[in-house]
Amino acid sequence: MDANISDCAAEVIGMSTNIGGYIRSAKFGRVMVSLVVLVLSSATMAAAGDTGVATEEMKERTSVSLHLVRGGRDNPTEIRESTESYDALTISGVRNKTNTRASAEKPGIGGQVSQNTSFDFWFYEADVILFNDDDNDGYFFGIDLLFDVDTIFESADIYAVLYLSFEGGPWNEYAVTDDFTIFGTSSNDEFVLVTELTSGYLTGSYDILIEIYDAFDGVFLTEFGPADSSALSFLPLEDANRDAPLNIVAFTPQGGGGAIDGFLLSALMLLLLISAIRKIWRRRNDVLIRIDTPAPCWQASRLNQQAQDPDLYRVPRA
């Protein structure tokens, strides 16, 4: 093989190797910078999300209820209003009777409560109607609960304690009725509790549990829940604060959100700066190569031939 051709081939291979190595290193650097930015952003947002959930979990629960005594939803004989306030929603743990009043006393009575169900009282029916979904996301903050309790006695004074369970978690008391009277197996003594969840209730699926107690001595009588009727299970609920209408745009800054935005903006500006510096460096070195670097071997041989025989590369006139 001719020495010039060998030298030319070696030069071409060397330039290709250098260019390929530079391109690979540049791409690798960009990929690594992008991965670092994504990992740091994800970790920061995850930490901020956990903080937000913990903050929501610590909020006090409030609600407002209407008590419709006897006559059902259409013709109640008495209507009372109450405002409830409870500790933060408990969302983790085992759902059992230790989370209810079945082992407690009714305030102001002082009687000992039994956890055994009385066969002298039972539920004839219970159903739920959900209402108030201003943002049309399928989650409601209004609970219209009707239940009918019967007894073997001619009449009895009782009261009810209502619970909500978030996503299968522990029972959380959300309302207590005043004392009311039931009459044997009459269908005219239904009790209706209409509740609007004001704050402290996360968006999700809830179950309802109803416990009945004797109004005289606070003895636990009977209960009715999701195990007894599907009407009290898998209810899509949230509080009124989370039910923002679609035409209202609300922005609530969370702790750490500004830091995330500033970090992402800084990372983007850094990437743009690196890209601009590399472009300037390429153009500058390209000019230096054109001015200072001798022509490659294949161009040099062609120029030598053209200098020796000008007519060889002359374009003929038409």
Using pLDDT thresholds of 50, 70 and 90, give the confidence band for residue 267: confident
What is the distance of C-alpha 193 from the center of its chain?
Answer: 30
Is 80 exceeded by the pLDDT of residue 311? no
For residues 126 and 268, membership in a common domain is answered with: no
How is 50-98 classified by DSSP, letter by letter?
HHHHHHHHTSPEEEEEEEEESSTTTS-SEEEEEEEEESPPP-SS--SGG
For residues 156 and 276, membership in a common domain is answered with: no
How many domains does the chain divide into? 2
Task: Give the domain extent around 74.
Answer: 56-242
For residues 154 and 267, membership in a common domain is answered with: no
For residues 188 and 282, membership in a common domain is answered with: no
Residue 44 in any domain: the answer is: no
Residue 149 in any domain: the answer is: yes
pLDDT tens for residues 6-48?
555 555 555 555 555 555 555 555 655 555 555 455 555 544 4
For residues 115 and 211, membership in a common domain is answered with: yes
For residues 217 and 274, membership in a common domain is answered with: no
Average pLDDT over residues 158-176: 96
Q: Tell which wins on pLDDT, 243 or 293.
A: 243
For residues 188 and 109, membership in a common domain is answered with: yes
Using pLDDT thresholds of 50, 70 and 90, give the confidence band for residue 268: confident
Residue 114 in any domain: the answer is: yes
For residues 264 and 176, membership in a common domain is answered with: no
For residues 99 and 211, membership in a common domain is answered with: yes
What's the pLDDT score for residue 117?
A: 73
Q: Tell which wins on pLDDT, 198 or 244.
A: 198
What's the pLDDT score for residue 53?
A: 45
How far apart CA 298 and CA 8 sit, in angstroms, is 7
What the block records as the tokens of 185 is 């197996």
Taking the CB of residue 191, how many other CB atoms lie within 10 A of it? 26
Residue 272 in any domain: the answer is: yes
Phi then psi dihedrals of residue 156, to 5 deg: -160, 145
For residues 103 and 205, membership in a common domain is answered with: yes
Residue 222 in any domain: the answer is: yes
What's the pLDDT score for residue 107?
A: 46
Residue 252 in any domain: the answer is: no
Residue 203 in any domain: the answer is: yes
The label of the residue with tokens 């000019």 reads 287
Residue 5 in any domain: the answer is: no
For residues 164 and 81, membership in a common domain is answered with: yes
Is 90 exceeded by the pLDDT of residue 301? no
For residues 96 and 224, membership in a common domain is answered with: yes
pLDDT tens for residues 106-165?
444 444 444 567 789 999 999 999 999 999 999 999 999 999 999 999 999 999 999 999
Taking the CB of residue 168, how many other CB atoms lie within 10 A of it? 15
What is the CATH number for 92? 2.60.40.10
